[in-house]
Amino acid sequence: MSWFIATLRSSIGKKLMMALTGLGFIGFLAGHLAGNLTIYGGRESFNSYAEHLHSLGVFVRVAEIGLLFFAFIHITTGLLLFLDNFSSRPVRYRVNKSSGGRTLGSRSMPYTGIAILVFVIFHLINFHFVDKTGTTIFNIVSTAFQNPIYIAVYIAAIVIVALHVSHGFWSAFQTLGLNHGKYMPIFKTAGLLFSLAVGFGFGFLPVYVSMIS
């Protein structure tokens, strides 16, 4: 455990933790998106996917505990890095110009991260911690998306997730030392394509579900 605390104390250790847990979330998002795309196959197809997933029983529980652990590490180290950056520059620059390759995605990482945390809590209350007796997962999702406010909240949250991922994807590979002139453009393009898949794949779902319900 002492190596873990020592890792969290060093700046590069914190960045490594962010990168590894971030890549774990990217894997989760890819799996969650693939599963949710079964909604486009209609009610039966989505319910059958959810039943198969739940039939994995203990494996799903282990994955959930893993996700929770990753979330704890990612949020704690993210906050520590944010505070480190802040305290190492107590006097704010008067001109906050975007320079040196800083993008909207990179500058907004702490804020989009907090917004995603709030969204995930809201999302789990809606779809995960609900009484599922006598109903189906498709009914739960389609009832939520009858409400235009839910549709708007989901679309806004998914744009934020896509923005966070567009920077986090290639930044994680850079932290892991793969900052090679030959490979970085590939990671950047893959990150852009993945964030577009997340944005359009998840983002259109609430609208589609509200149309077929």
Q: Which residues bind ligand HEM (CB under 6 A)?
A: 32, 36, 50, 60, 64, 67, 116, 120, 123-124, 127-128, 137, 141, 154, 158, 161, 202, 205-206
Query: C-alpha distances in angstroms, 165 versus 3, 79, 110, 116, 137?
Result: 29, 17, 12, 11, 27
Q: Please report how close the Cβ of residue 206 comes to ligand HEM at its closest, in angstroms.
A: 5
Smallest gap from Cβ 90 to ligand HEM, in A, equals 33
104 burial level (CB within 10 Å; 0-12, 13-18, 19+):
exposed
- CA 139 – CA 131 distance, rounded (Å): 12
Which CB atom, from 168 or from 175, has the smaller least distance to ligand HEM? 168
The rounded distance, in Å, linking the Cα atoms of 172 and 67 is: 18
Q: How far apart are CA 12 and CA 173, in angstroms?
A: 13
Rounded to a whole number of angstroms, the minimum distance from the CB of residue 88 to ligand HEM is 30
What whole-number distance in Å separates Cα of residue 22 and Cα of residue 28? 10
CB of 156 to ligand HEM, least distance (A): 11
Could you tell me the smallest distance in angstroms from the CB atom of residue 29 to ligand HEM? 6
Question: 3-class secondary structure for 85-138?
Answer: HHHCCCCCCCCCCCCCCCCHHHHCHHHHHHHHHHHHHHHHHHHCCCCCCCCCHH
Shortest Å distance, C-beta 193 to ligand HEM: 17
The residues near 50 (Cβ < 8 Å, ≥ 6 apart) are 136, 137, 138
Count of Cβ atoms closer than 10 Å to residue 182 Cβ: 6
